[in-house]
Amino acid sequence: MKKLIAGNWKMNCSLEEAKLLIADVINGVYQNQALQGDNEFVIFPPFIYLPTVRHALGNHTFISFGAQDCSPHDKGAYTGDISASMLKDSACTYAIAGHSERRKYHCESNADIKAKAEQVIKNGMTAIVCIGETQEERDGGRAEEVVQKQLFESLPAGAHARNTVIAYEPVWAIGTGKTASETDILMMHSFIREALEEKLADAENMRILYGGSVNPENGPGILKTPNVDGVLVGGASLKAQDFLAIAG
Ligand code: PGA
């Protein structure tokens, strides 16, 4: 299985910067054919730059793109929301559900995230469902319990390996420069794999990504860790060179 290298731009970039960044990513992947063979890249720009990224990618098939969030509703009077069918119409193939910043700043519950992920897969896209414990929960010895609860309660009905990806992102590692150790990642990803096996027939094929301060120095090692099928990169995805160096 190819590694999934996902770049979450979050709420960054001017329009001009977004154009330059996607152009640099495309050129970088073109110049290094080996990157294309081993990896699948997906970019998550802010909603408003989705058409810009789509236009820049044209017919390139080695980089996909998606949305950082989507509405849990089909359509209707939900001011400011963007539905999964709109994302599908905009040629997105992925959408993230339940990033810890949405859980924290928008008070999203596991039930909200499940509903969002269900909209994503119902519209033929792949949902990236994010889970991860806080520092306090880890220090309290509750990391596995918290992660399992989030996983089971956020997993969309009808999830299988081709429509759902899990991203394990310990909250304490996001944007902090504190990466989980390879041993911690190994243990948690194996735990998630086993938990998925309780629920799904094709759990061994479901991708589990790691996210949290992934950079060109630690990325290649993390990607070699068993049960790590890719990475979700925030800060380092804002420089094409750093983003691509993570893939090797
Ligand atoms: P970071 O963000 O790489 O900046 O830590 C990761 C994420 O939030 O997905």
Q: Could you tell me the distance, in angstroms and rounded to a whole number, from the CA of residue 25 to the centre of ligand 1?
A: 18
Tens of pLDDT, residues 164-215 = 999 999 999 998 988 899 999 999 999 999 999 999 999 999 999 999 999 9
Supply the pLDDT for residue 61: 83
Supply the pLDDT for residue 60: 84
Q: Which atom of ligand 1 is nearest to the CA of 215?
A: 3
Q: Which of 101, 118, 137, 169 is catalytic?
A: 169
Q: Which of 134, 171, 233, 242 to mutate to test the pocket of ligand 1 (most atoms within 8 A of CB)?
A: 233
Beta bridge partners of 230: 4, 209
Annotation says 169 is catalytic: yes
Check: CB of residue 231 under 8 Å from CB of residue 6: yes
Q: What residue's CA is closest to ligand 1, atom 1?
A: 234
Q: What is the DSSP string of 175-225?
A: TTS-PPPHHHHHHHHHHHHHHHHHH-TTGGGS-EEEESS--TTTHHHHHHS
For the chain, which domains are there?
Answer: 3-246 (3.20.20.70)
- Count CA within 13 A, CB hemisphere, residue 129: 35
How many angstroms separate the CA atoms of 205 and 126, rounded? 14
Task: Provide residues with CB under 6 Å of ligand 1.
Answer: 8, 169, 174-175, 211-214, 232-236
Tens of pLDDT, residues 45-99 = 999 999 999 999 998 888 999 999 999 999 999 999 999 999 999 999 999 999 9
Q: What is the mean pLDDT of the chain?
A: 96
Supply the pLDDT for residue 230: 98
Beta bridge partners of 5: 41, 231
